[in-house]
């Protein structure tokens, strides 16, 4: 597949090819696209984690939490 890139993109491609890390432009594009896909997966996982936290247990007020602990461990309220 032949494609004309703008000069700034072509310069980036040539710089990467000159690094010797890639055997062909196809290898360069494959690695770049795989990295983008992995990055997208990471973003989706983070978003899912955030959604899970947002939809989680709303918790209880701190006073109620301390009351529960006092009751569980038989600690008087004035202690």
- Residue 16 belongs to what domain range? 10-55
Q: H or E stretch including 14?
A: helix 7-18
- pLDDT reported for residue 79: 64
* Burial class (CB within 10 angstroms; exposed 0-12, middle 13-18, buried 19+) of 62: exposed
Residue 73 domain flag? no
Ramachandran angles phi, psi of 52, nearest 5°: -65, -45
Number of domains in the chain: 1
Residue 70 domain flag? no
Query: For every one of its 79 residues, what pLDDT tens digit does the chain have, with 9 covering 90 and above?
Result: 578 999 999 999 999 999 999 999 999 999 999 999 999 999 999 999 998 888 877 888 999 999 999 999 999 988 6
Residue 64 domain flag? no
Residue 1 domain flag? no
Q: Distance of CA 58 to CAs 30, 32, 50, 61, 68, Å?
A: 44, 41, 14, 10, 16
pTM: 0.60
């Amino acid at each position: 597949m032949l494609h004309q890139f703008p000069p700034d993109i072509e310069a980036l491609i040539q710089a990467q090819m000159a690094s010797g890390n890639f055997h062909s432009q196809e290898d360069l594009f494959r690695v770049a696209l795989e990295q983008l896909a992995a990055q997208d997966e990471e973003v989706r996982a983070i978003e899912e984690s955030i959604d899970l936290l947002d939809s989680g247990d709303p918790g209880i007020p701190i006073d109620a939490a301390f009351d529960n602990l006092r009751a569980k461990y038989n600690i008087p309220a004035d202690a």
